[in-house]
Chains A and B, each alone.
Chain A
Amino acid sequence: MSRLKKTIFTLSAALIFLAVFVFDVVRTTAGQEFGWWQYLREGSVFVAFLLLFLFVHASRTSRPLAVPKNIGRLLAYSFAIVVLMASLMFISRAPADAGGMNQTAQGALQILTSSIVVVSLGLFSISALLTIRELVLYKRKRGTKRNFIAYVAVMLAANGTTLFLLPGDGRIVVTILFSLAVILAVVNSFKQNWVVYLSRREKLFSIAYSALLFLTFLTINLLLGQSAPEQALMRYHLPLQSFIQLNAIFGVIYFGMAFVSALFHLPTAEVYERKQSELTSLHNLSRLVTQVFDFSDLVNTVTSMTLEVVGATSAWLELVKGRREDGAVLVEVVSPKNISLQQIEGIAVDSDLSLRKLIADSKRALSIEDVSADKRTKHIKKLGVPVGSLLSVPLVSHDELIGILHATKDFEYGFDQDDIDVMTTFADHVTIAIENSRLISESLERERFQQEIMVAQRMQKRLLPQRIPSYASLDIAAVSEPSLEVGGDYYDFVALDPQRLGIVVGDVSGKGVSAAFYMAEVKGIFQSLSKICASPRELILRANQALMDSLERNAFVSLLYAVVDLHRSRLSLARAGHCPMIYISGERSDFIRPTGLGLGLTFDDIFDESTQETTISLKRGDVCLFYTDGINEARNPDGEEFGFDRLLQVAVNSRSESAENIINAILQEVRNHTGGFSYGDDVTLVVVKMQ
């Protein structure tokens, strides 16, 4: 209802009351009846109260207050009414001519005071009825509202009949309706649901308020029977008297019952409050389930909520890491609250009676009611930790124990069945939250890993030569195709001088990021050593020394290093465990395979001793083919390798082609062999042809 409407309602009501007051004064002074004007007056009074009712109703619903506050307000009103009624009685008892005023003025004053009291009483009754209505309908059931409406209907009927039925035989109808209204008031007074949902503090207030309201309503009832108020009401508006009286009786009955009800519910207040907080906590947790991006935040909230949910003194969470062969449960203690890690280890002693073991075996909640009496936890007493009772619940996901949630209280028998149930439910939520958190972090990790791989792939690409050096009498081609992720294949050229070209092909063991790093290191070593080493053998020996400190024990690098000397028309070659070079000259073809160990296999003298260097002379049309094991190990669907023989055959067959076409021919043949499958490993080919 708008403010304007409310103002109009109150103003109209006030005007009507003023008119009625003037009418009353005139009537009293004139001392005669006014015929049908009389009926108009009664009607106006009714309309005025109706307007007041609408106003009060609208004001209430627009300002919803807590139940005890509403009762408190009603109590304040009732006090004011009692005071008003008492003062009315006091005034009416005072000597009529005390002030020495003339009779008209005195009469008017008396009418004014009684009018004010009557209107206030009416207003109060409306307010009381609405307050009681609110309480009765709280958490209503089917029929609750019907009963209340029945009361209001009968009450209004009883009020109405007082106006139309004359004393005598008609009185009986009024009495019956009146009694029926009282009976319905009693029926409605049984609806005290609101009491149940109050906190302990609110219940205490409600007890006091309803007791006082009971008393004030009783007083109002008594005062209504006194001559002065009764006269004033009867003279003002008969139905109003009945209305006020019935509602005052309703008030007495209702608040009497409310007092008793609140008193009886007081002992259960604490239980109710706890249930309420459990519900709130569980509700919070289900919200928490979605906030799983920070694992440490999550477990922190879990233990602090454990404290709340069961009112524990201390709490901690153990994440299961695995089990030892003897059955002991390995855990990581996270986010302990009000207890130290040392104390926790003392409590979860590693024995046959270990709490962790008991829970891991049973996968059920374990409640130790009296820690110092229970044989499983007797040792705790000696620790000096204030633990009286202990509750441990397992976190089970897919039939597997992923953690244990512990809570303690510093007194015995601290956890009842409700606590165990709540903790079990709570543990289920925690399990889901932890699982979700792990899944998220796993997928984040996977993403990060993929990012790393991409970086490594880019790096690997940049480590390979961006262009091939050009020598007038050399036709050079190279290709390197990494497998799915990052491989360890490496090739490089170094233009030593206008007549000499260094060629390296290698394979770093392992794949992925580590292979890319080793490759970077090998490139650095190769690029710097090739400038200062006189021979390929020397480069390989020094490269092995250089790698000594950085290679892991199970990692190695195979390498083939050749230097083409155009001036002398020869090629010198050293091999560190790599696939032999294919050399084709006219009708002759061969695997050139000087002995040599893979870099990193050993750093003893034996490495130097066994590394040899070979020199071959070159002439026009000679083809040198360098490759990695991705070529000869390429498999067909039956698992058969491409092999060295096939490789040699293709190379020989295509020897008259350009370097690039030789490579293409080999790749085509390998693809034919694998049947379009991926090579499985990196493949690298370098062809150097004399022209």
Chain B
Amino acid sequence: MADFKVHQRDGEGVSVIDLKGYLDAHTAPDLENAFQRLLNDRKFNIIVNCRELSYISSAGLGVFMAFIEDVRKNKGDIKLTNMSAKVYNVFDLLGFPILYEIFKEEQEAIKRFSEQKKS
């Protein structure tokens, strides 16, 4: 089974989760824990950087669905960035771009967060 890694770093007013490798039913709990920690710390502006994410299964998609409601209830958001075409296609098929903001670059997402804060 290929590796999966979750790494978290904090920027200005946003928290970034870097995903690497295969996100499936076996590795989904790692991402769940990362989200849960952010929610516990009341950090609701979350960017998930998928630059090194090579595969996502339905269980992986489920993790985002499990947390988006709580995050948005607290005036925050989960934004996705830097997806490979293949990964984007999985998100796209299911209709994620309708519900989630997906950006090519992390910087765009950060900018979007700061715009939202102003408005």
Contact = CB atoms under 8 A, between A and B. Distances in A.
Contacts of A558: 58, 93-94
B2 A577 contact: no
Nearest to A644: B89
A595 interface: yes
Nearest to A597: B95
B95 A610 contact: yes
B61 interface: yes
B69 interface: yes
B69 to A, nearest CB: 7
Contacts of B34: none
Nearest to A510: B59
Interface string A277-314: 00000000000000000000000000000000000000
B65 to A, nearest CB: 5
Contacts, number: 57
A630 to B, nearest CB: 11
Interface string B51-91: 00010001101110110010000000000000000100000
Contacts of B63: 554
B25 A595 contact: no
A509 B96 CA distance: 15
Interface in B76-119: 86, 93-96, 98-99
A597 B58 contact: no
Give the interface SS of chain B, mostly helix, strand, loop or mixed: helix
Contacts of A507: 58
A509 B66 CA distance: 13
A598 B66 contact: no
Contacts of B69: 553
A601 B94 contact: yes
Contact of B25 (A511, A597, A610): A511
A610 B100 CA distance: 14
A583 interface: no
Interface size class of A (residues with CB under 8 A): 20 to 34
A554 B66 contact: yes
Interface residues of B, number: 18
A403 interface: no
A556 B63 CA distance: 11
A558 B58 CA distance: 10
B92 to A, nearest CB: 10
A30 interface: no
A283 B86 CA distance: 66
B93 A597 contact: no
Contacts of A579: 93
Contacts of A168: none
A558 B95 CA distance: 10
B93 A556 contact: no
A576 to B, nearest CB: 8
A556 B99 contact: no
A597 B97 CA distance: 9
Interface string A506-524: 0101110000000000000
A636 interface: no
Given A509-B61, A554-B66, A556-B61, 11 more contacts: A507-B58, A511-B25, A553-B65, A553-B69, A554-B62, A554-B63, A556-B94, A596-B95, A598-B94, A601-B96, A639-B54
Interface of B: 2, 25, 54, 58-59, 61-63, 65-66, 69, 86, 93-96, 98-99
Interface of A: 488, 507, 509-511, 553-556, 558, 577-580, 595-598, 600-602, 606, 610, 639, 641
28 contacts: A488-B58, A509-B59, A509-B62, A510-B58, A511-B25, A554-B59, A554-B66, A556-B61, A556-B62, A558-B94, A577-B94, A577-B95, A578-B93, A579-B93, A580-B93, A596-B95, A598-B94, A598-B95, A601-B65, A601-B94, A601-B95, A601-B96, A601-B99, A606-B98, A606-B99, A610-B95, A639-B54, A641-B86
Pairs of residues from A and B, 7 with the lowest C-beta to C-beta distance, nearest first: A554-B62, A597-B95, A554-B66, A577-B94, A509-B58, A598-B94, A553-B66
